[in-house]
Amino acid sequence: MTSVKNASQENGKRGDAPEPHWPILVTLLAVGGLYMALPRSLTLGPRGLLLEIVCLLLIPTFIAMWTGHHDAQRRLGFLILGIITVSMTFSLALLVHALPLHTENPKQLLGSAVALWASNVLVFAQWYWRLDAGGPFVRGKTLGHMDGAFLFPQMTMSEEARKLAGEEDWAPTFVDYLFLAFNTSTAFSPTDTLVLTRWAKVLMMVQSLISLAVIVLLAGRVVNIF
């Protein structure tokens, strides 16, 4: 582990360009769209309110990014993600409460559970992406970092193996964290990635519990229908 870390520090170099943020924009809008698909009884306020808030906060966020105010951009990003997380958790609690009451249409409940499961993946992928190794801006300064919360397979490869694989300048991007979040929600484990820090382990446990709760709700509702 130490030798890999030293090799990474010696061979890591500053990225030529920052990591693109368009996947984050698409993900935020997707979560807002999924929230709009929920019935009114399962949302915190009007169904379109979350998407409107996200779009409104994205304006100063991109201004901060374009003007180089990375601290402000980071804080705004956490604010947006926090609002989305609270909204998703609230809707999940309402879904759990509504299921035994049989007050909602079965198809709506099943669709809501699927939307919340997908939102769970997208939201936690963003948490991992924003928190790991100081966030994307800090990670971009040195490629192949080894001081983060997650140890991806490419980080354990020797310098020679990375060169042969064409991954000598490899660094995790949002897709890697999305893959990590997807595996956590489906297999309830990170599969190919080691989790190194306590905060990451706690987040992954929370994500797994949310995913398990939604899957149990789906299974229970299907059994009741048939």
What are the DSSP calls for 121-169, one per residue?
HHHHHHHHHHHGGG-HHHHTTSTT--SSSEE-GGGGS-HHHHHHTT-TT
Residue recorded with tokens 């604010």: 79
- Are 51 and 31 in contact, with CB atoms under 8 Å apart? no
Q: Assign 6 a pLDDT band (cuts: 50, 70, 90).
A: very low
Please list, in sequence order, all residues whose beta carbon lies within 8 angstroms of the beta carbon of residue 93, skipping any fewer than 6 positions away: none
Q: Assign 143 a pLDDT band (cuts: 50, 70, 90).
A: low
Q: Number of helices and strands (H, E) in the chain?
A: 9, 2
Residue with the larger pLDDT of the pair 153 and 140: 153
The mean-pLDDT minimum among 50-59, 130-139, 201-210 falls in 130-139
| Number of independent structural domains in the chain | 1
- Are 99 and 109 in contact, with CB atoms under 8 Å apart? yes
Q: Quickly count: other Cβ atoms within 10 Å of residue 198's Cβ.
A: 9
pTM: 0.84
Could you tell me the residue range of the domain that residue 169 belongs to? 2-225
